Structure 1
């Protein structure tokens, strides 16, 4: 008997492919590609998570940005439903926080000042003399170590260690954020952090949602927030320390209401201060259990978003300052109120208000938080 030796030549590029899963239709997995390079030459990567239902979420390890996110409409058409810019160079130039991880402290701290155990710390002022979203070079501008996790529910683990004194914060903070794309068209975000000195932590994600698939602004989106109260602010949008009821105000979204219904009611001082909605709603359920905090429904597409979180509040921001100078991959100009953010978090300026839930993290403790954004249609 004679044997014939058959040799197959496999391109080296395939042997060393950066793809962690072949993204066939109906197959879940995660792929990796080069997104761009930082000025110092380090490469940033773009990871695409896909579930069996066809939902795809693109995330970069530069700042942990959600670059794009597809969701089906009532006819099954998959479209991008988050604001993002076309190239890595555009992200390097800076965006109005189009989808990154925000830290160490999401939202504002008055005058960048906080006191811990009798020690005063001065944080980088970067918003009218106040500190916002972690400072000038916050977590959204860091290159995170990335570990892709393949499977039916693909995940991306991002890790960053913030050194003692970065942006004025005390303590070396080790941070881990895991994005998991679930089978049920939900993106789960798990946050974890530890420190070697007392510090403050308030992590969040700053995605702008537009459930129309970039076909118009979000004024027709129907918002519901499970919150009977909110935090009024001063003109610089720093909380006054009061917690006021939403009843009888433009902030009452206890029942689904079009975002545009009262957004221009400038007879209300808070609407004037925020140029619309840019405020923190306090959930009625004050537990740290996972609960449904808000929903958004877009009638034309039928897309329905549910937000679940362990956090005590959510900052709702209606893109009041977009002016059309930035465009997305689709070529659409992002004009005023073209997106809505649901930033789950502890209260802004909590270190300076003893009546607010504490954001202090101490050595030996672990900061943990979970938020889920789940899509369906109606």
Structure 2
């Protein structure tokens, strides 16, 4: 069966955690998703050598995902992905205060965001294999107004893709910003300890958001060509340099944690939810695997894992190198492409329309990660 289930441990007070296994024999891909955080735990694809490669970082047990040091491996992030400045915003003159878990700012939904919630998962298709994850976020959760119902649909397509489709509805005006927080390593997370030898190209990405000292956007767009480390275009000869050669030159000096603009051509920087476009291409060091990122969202955060704390090898699934030595999962072990609305958009007048969900409207977005050998 293309969609099956297996136990993934238990949570105190919540009972069993279930892992859903999606297999597409046509694209020869396997994805595993748990109902805790609607989290992608494994994504196995075939490389040029016809080898199975698990390309996402994660843990082999629920205990790993519950640790304080878990850097959102594979999680569905909400009600707000990325940062809200000073952990507050106003709607119709009323101020709402959020939990400042990255003081003074609010990050990835707060103290217990969607990544720490139990989702209801239902298989919705066997061919192609697809599941729908649902969560009801109550009014007042983490300080946000309104009840919202969120769905995340995972599909393994016949074309070698994993598709993630997000929808949300509400009963009161509220900011919504959803993303997936998978860390990718195309060398295979059981063999390659970092992504420093990967290369990256961005397609028609002309701007990134200027960050302040705490990585909250100032509201200003900076041309990528104005900062050599931020230009990944083939046009300027920057598409095939290794990430390792550029990490120390990124703003902040700890690798990349910046938000790039996917479509700068409209005033509100929105993309039609029905229109998806390629924005990035990541390549494995030996050329054995390529991942293309496509999204309907107005932007995406590239994070190269500069602040990943070393993960004990007995907790991670990355247990053995080819030579039999344990992998130490830590800094720069993977790279994220967090497609979303702009960080702090709710506090920026020109960006606010991206993220302010109103009763009767539906939040929509889709991200696709496509793999070719």
TM-score, length of structure 2 as denominator length: 0.89
Could you list the runs of 5+ residues in structure 2 that have no partner in the other structure?
A: 266-270, 320-326
Which deviates the most, 113-122 or 248-257?
A: 248-257
2:181 paired with 1:167: no
Question: What residue in structure 2 maps to residue 216 of structure 1?
Answer: 193
Distance 1:59 1:186, change over 3 A: same
Looking at CA atoms only, which structure, 1 or 2, has the larger radius of gyration? 1
2:36 paired with 1:57: no
Query: Equivalences for 1:91-102 in 2 at 5 Å?
Result: 91-94=65-68, 95-102=70-77
Question: What residue in structure 1 maps to residue 289 of structure 2?
Answer: 303
Q: CA deviation at 1:216?
A: 3.0
Contact 1:211–1:301 (CA<8 Å) still a contact in 2? no
The number of residue pairs the alignment matches comes to 345
Aligned residue for 1:208, secondary structure, equals: coil
Structure of higher RCO (CA pairs closer than 8 Å, 6+ residues apart) = 2
2:218 paired with 1:229: no
Question: What residue in structure 1 maps to residue 242 of structure 2?
Answer: 258
Question: What residue in structure 2 maps to residue 131 of structure 1?
Answer: 106
Contact 1:187–1:374 (CA<8 Å) still a contact in 2? yes
**Structure 1, residues 332-360: CA drift from partner, whole Å, max 9, x if none?**
22121110000000100111111225210
2:343 paired with 1:348: yes
Aligned residue for 1:271, secondary structure, equals: coil
Distance 1:326 1:110, change over 3 A: farther
Hey, what's the Cα distance between the residues in 2 that align with 1:42 and 1:197?
Answer: 32
Q: CA deviation at 1:364?
A: 0.5
Contact 1:347–1:357 (CA<8 Å) still a contact in 2? no
Hey, what's the Cα distance between the residues in 1 that align with 2:218 and 2:125?
Answer: 46
Aligned residue for 1:83, secondary structure, equals: coil
Which deviates the most, 51-60 or 200-209?
A: 51-60
Aligned residue for 2:247, secondary structure, equals: coil
2:45 paired with 1:71: yes
2:30 paired with 1:35: no
2:310 paired with 1:316: no
Hey, what's the Cα distance between the residues in 1 that align with 2:46 and 2:17?
Answer: 29
- Runs of 4+ in structure 1 off by over 4 angstroms are none
Could you list the runs of 5+ residues in structure 1 that have no partner in the other structure?
A: 1-20, 22-28
Q: CA deviation at 1:307?
A: 0.9
Contact 2:99–2:143 (CA<8 Å) still a contact in 1? yes
Contact 2:32–2:43 (CA<8 Å) still a contact in 1? yes
Q: CA deviation at 1:195?
A: 0.3
Aligned residue for 1:363, secondary structure, equals: coil
Hey, what's the Cα distance between the residues in 1 that align with 2:261 and 2:50?
Answer: 35
